[in-house]
């Protein structure tokens, strides 16, 4: 903060400059002036924040000087010094906006006090201006976000004018008049960056990206949590895309990071920027498929009409076997392969990828529920996949499936005969197949005779009796909950001969399958 002393008496000027340590007070002392005229010549260039001036000088006096200074620099604080105890002069000085009025006979303490009062007034003005600027910027940003998205935090009421945003776009040369009075093309681009880590580092990186974009492009920007929204003036066609490409290359090389940019189509209408934003937003969601590097436009997703949303029966069987095997390495390999197949599908979209992977997680949880059937264990809620920008789909899928696998093996390991419970899960997962005792014993790594003996002791049923019970219970559940044909149900629970299945079912349930379904519907 700068202070200028003005007095026609050399002894006063020298005294005020040397007696008080202005630097200690946080003030930079400018070269003193001998007259009001000299001061007025220098003030436009030197722009003092505080002026300490004599009131009576040859030529222009201090009051007229104060008036001139205020007309040019309204926020300058002025302190009048005089050798005349003239109250009328003091009143006039105060009317001209003078901060304080002191006698030349005042001691250094009084002069310092007046200077500090002036300094405080300036700091208060600066703080007030800063707050007003921040509030105006916050309102403008809210209006800007609303204009693009139709929503936003603290969205302005519908009757508030968007004029501040238009002015902002014009000031930054985003809105420019083209040939024939038409508006030059604009577009919305969403930019994300990675490579500096998470948390504070990620925020710093995005801030640096925003600064570089503002330097390289005629644009306005809005910094969000994980991306920068950019509205830029651009040329049509390839030229406009090249401008963005150059900016992205500069960011990548300067900041040593990966940059992902999703550009909506161009428009010549401010009102149509929302469409460009929606296109960019949809395109930005493909970052999980395209990776963290590159500039993409709507033409890059024209063929992306959607992939599978539900896993196949074969994939479900493979997953069940892996979950029972307790092999984390195999589970990771399987997860990687499943995701890779989806990522290579040119039709897949982020929405269909998420639905497909979520269906796999649901299958895993259903498997766990079946495995824990008839055990006093609280069911786990199905975990949801996270599709945050830095998420790797294969890692996220593996993590959720591993938690299911660990939960199962932790529960069965608490049992004295954990291999029996693993055998039961295996049996339930393969009821549609021909299941031999030797096959199940091999899965749990036991001698068939020993497994048969322990199975009967633990379950109260022989191996064959248990399988029959499970098949009949499964058939009964299907009959209650579906309209499948009896022949289809027979195959689903491991019977190729429908007649034999019906006989076994009646023997076990007391009714034929058809009678059981009819009775269950009442």
Tens digit of pLDDT for each residue in 331-370?
Answer: 999 999 999 999 999 899 999 999 999 999 999 998 888 7
Chain mean position to CA 433: 48
Q: Which of residues 464 and 149 earns the better pLDDT score? A: 464
* Mean pLDDT estimate for the chain: 85
- For residue 440, pLDDT beyond 80: yes
Q: Is the dihedral of CA 343, 346, 348, 349 positive or negative?
A: positive
Cβ atoms of 486 and 498 closer than 8 Å:
yes
Structure tokens at 236: 């049509």
Question: What's the CATH code, domain 2-125?
Answer: 3.40.50.2300
Give the side-chain half-sphere CA count within 13 A for 293. 7
24-39: pLDDT as tens digits: 999 999 999 999 999 9
Q: Give the per-residue pLDDT at 193.
A: 92
The radius of gyration computed from the CA coordinates of the chain, to the nearest angstrom, equals: 40
Chain mean position to CA 249: 23
Cβ contacts of 231 within 8 Å, gap of 6 or more:
144, 148, 169, 174, 186, 187, 188, 219, 220, 221, 273
Task: Specify the length of the chain in residues.
Answer: 522
From residue 225, give the alpha-carbon distance in Å to each of 141, 202, 222, 228. 14, 9, 10, 8
Structure tokens at 49: 């924040």
Q: Give the per-residue pLDDT at 185.
A: 85
CATH topology assigned to domain 183-301: Alpha-Beta Plaits (3.30.70)
Q: Per-domain residue ranges for the chain?
A: 2-125, 183-301, 304-414, 416-522
From residue 490, give the alpha-carbon distance in Å to each of 331, 366, 434, 468. 32, 22, 13, 12
Of 249, 178, 246, whose CA–CA distance to 217 is shortest?
Answer: 246
Least confident of 92-96, 215-219, 242-246, 464-468: 92-96
- Residue 427 CA to residue 211 CA, distance in Å, equals 62
Structure tokens at 131: 């707050």
- Domain 416-522: which CATH class? mainly alpha
Cβ atoms of 180 and 230 closer than 8 Å:
no
Structure tokens at 204: 């710093």
- Please give the backbone phi and psi of residue 259, each rounded to the nearest 5 degrees, phi first: -125, 130
Give the side-chain half-sphere CA count within 13 A for 117. 14
Beta bridge partners of 186: 233, 267
Of 2, 108, 106, 16, whose CA–CA distance to 53 is shortest?
Answer: 16
Of the chain, the end-to-end C-alpha distance in Å amounts to 91
Q: Give the per-residue pLDDT at 491.
A: 92
- For residue 471, pLDDT beyond 50: yes
For range 205-214, the mean pLDDT: 91
Structure tokens at 258: 């990966």
Q: Give the per-residue pLDDT at 264.
A: 92
Find the helix or strand (DSSP H, E) in which 221 lies.
strand 219-223
Least confident of 87-101, 119-133, 447-461: 87-101
251-306: pLDDT as tens digits: 999 999 999 999 999 888 888 889 999 999 999 999 989 988 999 999 999 999 99
DSSP-H helix ranges across 264-349: 273-284, 287-290, 313-325, 328-343
């Amino acid at each position: 903060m700068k202070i200028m002393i003005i007095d026609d008496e050399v002894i006063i000027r020298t005294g005020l400059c040397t007696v008080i340590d202005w630097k200690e007070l946080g003030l930079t002392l400018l070269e003193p002036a001998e007259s009001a005229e000299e001061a007025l010549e220098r003030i436009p260039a030197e722009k003092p924040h505080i002026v300490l001036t004599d009131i009576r000088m040859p030529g222009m006096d201090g009051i007229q000087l104060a008036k001139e200074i205020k007309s040019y620099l309204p926020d300058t604080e002025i302190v009048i010094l005089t050798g005349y105890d003239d109250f009328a002069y003091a009143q006039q000085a105060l009317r001209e906006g003078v901060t304080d009025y002191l006698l030349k006979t005042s001691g250094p303490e009084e002069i310092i006090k007046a200077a500090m009062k002036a300094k405080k007034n300036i700091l208060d003005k600066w703080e007030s201006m800063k707050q007003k600027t921040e509030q105006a910027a916050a309102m403008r940003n809210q209006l800007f976000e609303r204009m693009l998205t139709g929503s936003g935090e603290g969205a302005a009421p519908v009757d508030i004018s968007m004029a501040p945003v238009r002015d902002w776009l014009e000031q930054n040369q985003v809105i420019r008049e083209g040939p024939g009075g038409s508006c030059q093309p604009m577009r919305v681009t969403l930019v994300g960056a990675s490579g500096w880590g998470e948390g504070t580092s990620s925020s710093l990186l995005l801030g640096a990206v925003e600064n570089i974009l503002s330097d390289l492009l005629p644009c306005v920007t809005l910094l969000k949590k994980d991306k920068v929204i950019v509205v830029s003036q651009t040329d049509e066609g390839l030229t406009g895309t090249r401008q963005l490409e150059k900016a992205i290359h500069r960011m990548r090389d300067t900041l040593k990071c990966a940059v992902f940019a999703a550009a909506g189509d161009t428009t010549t209408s401010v009102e149509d920027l929302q469409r460009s934003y929606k296109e960019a937003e949809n395109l930005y969601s493909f970052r999980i498929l395209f990776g963290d590097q590159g500039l993409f436009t709507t033409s890059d997703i024209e063929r992306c009409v959607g992939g599978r949303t539900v896993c196949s029966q074969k994939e479900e069987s493979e997953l069940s076997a892996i979950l029972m095997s307790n092999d984390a390495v195999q589970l990771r390999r399987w997860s990687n392969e499943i995701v890779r197949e989806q990522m290579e599908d040119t039709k897949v979209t982020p929405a269909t990828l998420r639905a497909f992977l979520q269906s796999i997680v649901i299958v895993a949880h259903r498997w766990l529920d079946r495995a824990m059937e008839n055990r006093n264990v609280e069911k786990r809620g199905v975990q949801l996949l996270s599709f945050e920008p830095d998420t790797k789909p294969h890692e996220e899928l593996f993590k959720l499936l591993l938690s299911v696998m660990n939960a199962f093996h932790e529960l069965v390991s608490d049992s004295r005969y954990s291999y029996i419970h693993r055998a039961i899960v295996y049996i339930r997962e393969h009821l549609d197949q021909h299941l031999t005792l030797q096959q199940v014993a091999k899965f749990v790594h036991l001698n068939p005779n020993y497994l048969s003996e322990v199975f009967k002791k633990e379950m109260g049923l022989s191996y064959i009796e248990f399988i029959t019970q499970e098949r009949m219970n499964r058939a009964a559940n299907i009959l209650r909950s579906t309209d499948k044909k009896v022949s289809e149900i027979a195959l689903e629970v491991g019977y190729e001969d429908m007649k034999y299945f019906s006989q076994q079912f009646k023997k076990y349930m007391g009714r034929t399958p058809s009678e059981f379904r009819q009775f269950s519907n009442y």
